[in-house]
Amino acid sequence: MPTNTFRSETKVPLPGSERKALSAATPASTPHTTLHTTPGNITVSVLVRRKQPIDPATFAPGQHLDHATFDTRHGADPAAVEAVQAFASEYGLTAAPATDLGRRTIHLTGTQQQLEEAFGVQLHPHKFGTQTCRTRQGSIHIPETLSPHITAVLGLDDRPQAKAHFRIATPHASNVSYTPVQVAELYGFPTNSATGQTIGLIELGGGFAQADITAYFQSLKLTPPKVTAVLVDGGTNSPGDPNGADGEVMLDIEVAGAVAPGAAIAVYFCPNTDAGFLDAITTAVHDTTNKPGVLSISWGGPESSWTQQAMTAMDDAFQAAAALGISVTVAAGDNGSSDGVSSGNHVDFPASSPHVLACGGTKLVGSGATITSEVVWNEQASNEGATGGGVSTIFAKPTYQSSANVPAPTTSAGGRGVPDVAGNADPSTGYEVRVDGQTMVIGGTSAVAPLWAGLLTLANAANKTSAGLANTALYAASEAATFHDITSGNNGSFAATKGWDACTGLGSPVGPAVIAALKTGK
């Protein structure tokens, strides 16, 4: 390859990489100020093209691929890897070896000035609360001949990307609370063991202490699950703030572990950036050591807060999960139909990906195995949240929703309805959990994603097969038999109605019927 071949080329915008100018952030200093904890070093994640596109036929039970076959068919294109490595060398960047071809990720490391030159950007420090981050605006630019090889470049901008979708209950005399086991009983979950299964949790902060896990599960008279921390991109298992991300981590572990007893849990800790989030997901999807069969994600943000390249890359990772037989459950958000945006209706991503099971929230009242009342979670009048839901402006309506009564999208590209399913989420009927030595009651759609992850894990164990992308089977199932149809309440702009709706999807689960719907006849 001739010397300086990339430097001599015209640079073109990387499709989908545009970032809008910040309006609310406060400048902290000037460009080229050292921004990273390791002076002079910044690492970015470069996603390269696949050898060949993923065939949706592999999403179906019985058609899933093993990791070796997936990597052979759909791993990183060797020509793309070679091109990125040559590009890195020319700009003085260090390219980490591309050892996991399924992830298609090459990490490039260099100084701020080297990366600015290589990718045609300017990085500026901005404060988000007490955190100083790198930000950019406009598009990333890459040499024209490199453009066909690269699908995303993430990590140049390391602003916080997502929020945890949990709500700590505000004390009210009318509140009730449940253990996860009691919620599972109300939904008829079987008490069968999920031994041999692994649930993966994606966490963008916080941590867990084994002593809390042991004490909590002993209080439920359950054997504590084996919990493994997997650290991604410098992420850490750092407990210490019961009102912060620790609440999310412990809620996820305790709900998933309690409703799917016997399952192991792998917790993937990563930085709260678009690069960290994606890298954690791809690490989990291609983890042949822990082998999670279901992933639960309780973090997200409005579609409008993401770059198109990040959403496309993450949706692509969820397609890989579906092809490998891995189910992904995602919280639909806790800020009603606006998703916390000042105007208009918005849905949360990654819940809006058509290749995940989006989980909305209800207010559940009952005792034992009897549900007395279940309505849409909406406590916005007291500033205590409401289930997310609505229609994507980015992702088209998937085939499995063709018969669902999804409202018309506001963009020609959109149409995917959110959520798919629901479960107890109102903090006023929340979950009793233990966080940093304290007993707390927590709700939010953050609780629904691990609840459904536990149910899918029970299904995988009982059916002796992987559900993978469960959406197709669930939408095809008898709705009356498989779900508690929620017909009362709203999340702001959308009201519950008979059948699917943009508050609670198909409804909350009838455990045994869900498991039966996911069975492939084996």
The Cα 107–Cα 111 span in angstroms is 13
Reading the block at residue 126, the tokens are: 């901005």
Q: Any bridge partners for residue 48, and if so which? A: 150
CB 465 within 8 A of CB 522: yes
Q: Any bridge partners for residue 44, and if so which? A: 108
Q: How far is CA 415 from CA 334, 383, 390, in A?
A: 21, 29, 9
Neighbours of 160 (CB within 10 A): 17
Query: Based on the number of CB atoms within 10 Å of its own CB, is 66 exposed (0-12), middle (13-18) or buried (19 or more)?
Result: exposed
SS3 content of the chain, % helix, strand, coil (to 5): 30, 25, 45
CB 161 within 8 A of CB 277: yes
Q: How far is CA 295 from CA 104, 449, 515, in A?
A: 20, 9, 17
The Cα 328–Cα 23 span in angstroms is 34
DSSP structure string for 9-64: SPEEEPTT--BPPPSS-EE-S-TTS--SSSTT-EEEEEEE-BSSPPPGGGGSTT-P
Reading the block at residue 515, the tokens are: 């498991």
Q: Any bridge partners for residue 504, and if so which? A: none
Would you put residue 444 in left (φ > 0), alpha (ψ -120 to 50) or beta? left
Catalytic annotation, residues? 248, 252, 446
Q: Which of 98, 89, 509, 140 is nearest to 329 (CA)?
A: 509
Q: Which residues make Cβ contacts (< 8 Å) with residue 259, sequence separation at least 6?
A: 180, 181, 183, 184, 189, 450, 451, 454, 455, 458
For residue 366, the surrounding DSSP H or E stretch is strand 357-367
Neighbours of 498 (CB within 10 A): 10
Residue type, 346: H
Q: Which residues make Cβ contacts (< 8 Å) with residue 101, sequence separation at least 6?
A: 71, 75, 76
Q: Which of 162, 110, 156 is nearest to 14 (CA)?
A: 156
Q: Which of 398, 314, 304, 381 is nearest to 347 (CA)?
A: 304
